């Protein structure tokens, strides 16, 4: 007897392809949904069955709860895996899934509601002993903010209580900015999330982004799988992730891990999740938020622990007991992941859409690729720009960097601009190699990191000439 009759994957792109694989390993048939522009996309090709969700805009397809539920039910699925983004952290969706009698492969709506509200989450985490940033949660006026800033030190950060992805965040550099900044953040929050509730916390400068991956079953067993370092990011979008972090000693890891495990036990969390921290220059941890879903960068943890996290999520949601104990989790070596986005780093990371005219995927020792693309496929303009992820692993960070450089050199995508040349520069950048990284790394080094030339392979230049002279029937250059 299998875990499920059929799993419906309510996502697209690389994560949908990724999620199909462990299901297939477990002998579970997979159905995917697709929007019109994704009809020929890779996840549709890889799945056993595919159901049209609706037109291309996400709100009419991947975000349309009714459409997704209907597709899952009509195709005979008894479980839904949401991936990341879209409906993954929407408790209403989780509720609806359960109401229809299907299994939602993720945390309960109750937990999502607590952790999805920044103020509620802070309170819950703090109650379990997780360090959080000094903050005022019920902001009334600017005077209150100024007093707080003077006490904990400037700058401060205003955040929308219901926010995410950096939206509605406002940095207050000094007391003079308090009044206006607060009003601006409230206005954005109102528009974006329907509620103007904001809170103000101390801004952690030059910090590092470190997050703990954990797994929990419904029987109260919680373990952590160590941390990931995600400081290489731009506008809160991560580009390079690693595990483990070179910042953590085994003692600190064990201590912070225990804090995370306790908090999740207290909250009653089930399935995989991530607790994100900012670590300031002095090494102090401050919890940022809990991601109640699989994360893009889960691969690096898998590479050094040997566990397939999504496969574990499938089993846990089916009622399996977590067979692992904390002492079974051994971190071996070092893994790095690079995100290949269809963006032009030279042009302010503007999205780049179009047909992939050429694609050379990579492989080789200790390299893993998670991709949702193929040659000839057209990158649609409706969704996020992540095309693929590549992951390298080595006995130490240096080896993993060497392998990543090799992989990036081989990887080649034509037709759209990508972050590949930028990632190559990052892997060569001295501070990165030395591990001297922080969340401002990309912004600080952007000039040097984008100082690459996109070199077209010589054969294609010559081919362009041969095409011209063949098409015109004569050489217009030779006189």
Partner 1 sequence: MPGALKKKGYRKVLKTLRDGKAIWLTNTGPRDTGQSDFKNRFTLHDLSRLMPVYDASGYFSIEVHGGARLHQNLMNNMIHPFEEARLFSARMPNVLTQTLIRSTNVWGYRMYPRNIVRLAVESFLPAIDVWRCFDFLNYVPNMAPVAEEVLRGGKIFSPAISFTEAPECSDAYYLRVLKEIVSLCGGTRDIILCVKDMAGVGSPARIRRLIDAFLQKYPGLVIQYHRHSTDGLVIPAITEAAAAGAKLFDVTDDAFSRFYGHPPVRPLVRYLRELGYDVRLDMKRADEASDAIRGFIRSYGRFESQFKGFSSDVTVHRMPGGAFPSSFEQAEKGGFLDLMPHILKGMSYGNRIIKYFDVTPGSQITWTTWAGILQRTHKEAGEHGIRRLFSVLDRFFESGERLEALSQADENLLLRLYEGATDDLKNLLLGKYGPLPFGWPKEWVYRSVFGEEGAAKAKAERVESSPLSRLPDEDLEKSRAAMEAELGRPPTQEEFVLYLMHPKAAVDFLKFRQRFGDITVLPTAVWFHGLRKPGDQVTITIGSKPHELRLVSIGEGVGGVKHVVLSVDNIMHVFPVELPEAAAARKAVRKASPGKKGEIGATVTGTVWRIGTKDRVLKEGDRLRRGEEVMNIEVMKTENAVKSPLAGVIRELCVKVNDRVEEGQLLASIDPGGD
Partner residues linked to 86 by β-bridges: none
Residues from 18 through 77 that contact partner 1 (CB under 8 A) = none
Please, which residues have CB within 8 angstroms of residue 405's CB and are 6 or more apart in sequence? 424, 427, 428
27, 348, 365, 473: which one binds partner 1 (CB under 8 A): 473
Report residue 194: phi and psi, to 5°: 80, -5
Angle 433-131-171 (CA atoms, 0-180°, nearest 5)? 70
The verdict on whether 424 is a catalytic residue reads: no
Task: Identify the burial level of 423 via C-beta atoms within 10 angstroms of its C-beta, where 0-12 means exposed, 13-18 middle and 19 or more buried.
Answer: buried
Shortest spacing between CB 94 and partner 1, in angstroms: 45
The C-alpha atoms of residue 135 and residue 130 are separated, in whole angstroms, by 14
In angstroms, give the least distance from the CB of 347 to partner 1: 17
Least Å distance, CB 359 to partner 1, is 10
Residue 330 or 447 with smaller CB distance to partner 1 = 447
* 477 belongs to the binding site for partner 1 (CB under 8 A): yes
CB of 202 closer than 8 Å to CB of 135: yes
Residue with tokens 């920044």: 118
Decide if residue 187 touches partner 1 (CB under 8 A).
no
Contact between 333 and 42 (Cβ < 8 Å): no
Neighbour-count burial of 237, counting CB atoms closer than 10 A to its CB (0-12 exposed, 13-18 middle, 19+ buried): middle
Return all residues near 397 (Cβ < 8 A) that are at least 6 apart. Answer: 242, 246, 334, 336, 435
Helix or strand (DSSP H, E) at 272: strand 271-279
Stretch that binds partner 1, among 31-39, 287-295, 321-329, 460-468 (CB under 8 A): 460-468
Both tokens of 137, joined, read 């949660």
What secondary structure does DSSP assign to 6-59, as a single string?
-EEE---HHHHHHHHHHHHHTT--EEEEEEGGGTTSHHHHHSSEEEEEESSSGG
| Closest to 306 in 3D by CA, of 239, 368, 361 | 368
249 near partner 1, rule: CB under 8 A: no
Instruction: Work out whether 470 is an interface residue with partner 1 (CB under 8 A).
Output: yes
Tokens of 240: 């390079």
Query: Of 12, 18, 234, 293, which is the active-site residue?
Result: 293
Which one, 282 or 478, has the nearer CB to partner 1? 478
Nearer residue to partner 1 within complex by CB, 176 or 460: 460
**469 makes contact with partner 1 (CB under 8 A):** yes
Q: Of 99 and 474, which CB lies nearer to partner 1 in the complex structure?
A: 474
Interface region with partner 1, contact rule CB under 8 A, candidates 102-110, 228-236, 268-276, 454-462 = 454-462
Question: Quick one: 59 or 475, whose CB is closer to partner 1?
Answer: 475
Shortest distance, position 454 Cβ to partner 1, whole Å: 12
Closest CB 386 distance from partner 1, rounded Å: 25
Stretch that binds partner 1, among 179-187, 232-240, 300-308, 468-476 (CB under 8 A): 468-476
Restricting to residues 310-369, which ones interact with partner 1 according to CB under 8 A?
357-358
Q: Which of residues 323 and 475 has its CB atom nearest to partner 1 in the complex?
A: 475
Which of 388, 393, 337, 324 has its CA nearest to residue 361?
Answer: 388
Q: Which stretch binds partner 1 (CB under 8 A): 19-27, 256-264, 421-429, 462-470?
A: 462-470
Distance (Å) of CA 321 to CA 22, 215, 317: 18, 11, 10
Q: What is the total count of residues that contact partner 1 (CB under 8 A)?
A: 25
Site string for partner 1, 364-403 (x = CB under 8 A): -----------x----------------------------
Q: Residue 82 in contact with residue 63, Cβ under 8 Å?
A: no
Options 110, 284, 332, 461; binder of partner 1; rule CB under 8 A? 461
Identify which of residues 331 and 469 has a Cβ nearer to partner 1 in the complex: 469
Q: Please, what is the minimum distance in Å from the beta carbon of residue 472 to partner 1?
A: 6
The residues that are catalytic are 293
Binding site for partner 1 (CB under 8 A): 357-358, 375, 458-479
């Amino acid at each position: 007897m299998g875990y499920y009759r059929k799993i419906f994957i309510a996502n697209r792109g690389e994560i949908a392809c990724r999620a199909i694989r462990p299901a297939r390993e477990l002998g579970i048939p997979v159905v995917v949904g697709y929007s019109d522009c994704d009809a020929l996309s890779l996840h549709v090709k890889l799945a056993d069955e595919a159901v049209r969700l609706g037109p291309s805009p996400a709100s009419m397809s991947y975000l349309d709860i009714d459409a997704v539920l209907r597709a899952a039910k009509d195709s005979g699925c008894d479980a839904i895996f949401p991936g990341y983004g879209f409906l993954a952290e929407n408790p209403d969706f989780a509720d609806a899934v359960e109401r229809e009698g299907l299994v939602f492969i993720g945390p309960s709506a109750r937990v999502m509601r607590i952790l999805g509200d920044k103020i509620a989450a802070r309170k819950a985490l703090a109650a379990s002993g997780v360090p959080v940033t000094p903050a005022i949660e019920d902001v009334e006026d600017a005077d209150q903010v100024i007093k707080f800033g003077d006490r904990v030190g400037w700058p401060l950060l205003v955040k929308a209580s219901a926010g995410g992805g950096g939206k509605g965040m406002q940095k207050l550099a000094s007391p003079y900015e308090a009044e206006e900044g607060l009003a601006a953040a409230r206005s954005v929050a109102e528009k974006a999330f329907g509620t103007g509730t904001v809170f103000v916390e101390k801004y952690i400068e030059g910090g590092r982004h470190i997050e703990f991956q954990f797994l929990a079953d419904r029987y109260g067993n919680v373990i952590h799988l160590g941390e990931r370092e995600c400081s290489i990011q731009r506008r809160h979008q991560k580009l390079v992730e690693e595990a483990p972090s070179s910042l953590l000693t085994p003692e600190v890891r064990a201590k912070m891990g225990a804090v995370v495990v306790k908090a999740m036990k207290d909250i009653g969390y089930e399935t995989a999740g991530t607790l994100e921290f900012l670590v300031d220059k002095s090494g102090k941890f401050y919890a940022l938020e809990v991601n109640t879903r699989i994360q893009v960068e889960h691969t690096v943890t898998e590479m050094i622990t040997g566990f397939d996290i999504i496969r574990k999520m499938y089993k846990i949601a089916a009622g399996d007991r977590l067979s692992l104990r904390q002492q079974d989790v051994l971190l071996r070596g070092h893994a790095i992941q690079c995100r290949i986005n269809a963006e032009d780093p030279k042009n302010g990371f503007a999205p780049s859409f179009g047909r992939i005219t050429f694609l050379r995927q990579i492989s080789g020792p200790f390299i893993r690729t998670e991709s949702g693309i193929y040659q000839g496929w057209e990158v649609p303009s409706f969704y996020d720009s992540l095309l693929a992820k590549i992951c390298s692993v080595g006995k130490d960070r240096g080896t993993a960097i060497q392998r990543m450089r090799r992989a990036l050199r081989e990887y080649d995508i034509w037709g759209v601009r990508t972050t590949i040349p930028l990632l190559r520069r990052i892997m060569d950048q001295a501070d990165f190699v030395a591990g001297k990284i922080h969340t401002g790394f990309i912004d600080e080094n952007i000039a040097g990191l984008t100082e690459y030339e996109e070199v077209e392979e010589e054969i294609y230049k010559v081919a362009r000439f041969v095409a011209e002279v063949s098409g015109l029937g004569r050489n217009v250059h030779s006189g």
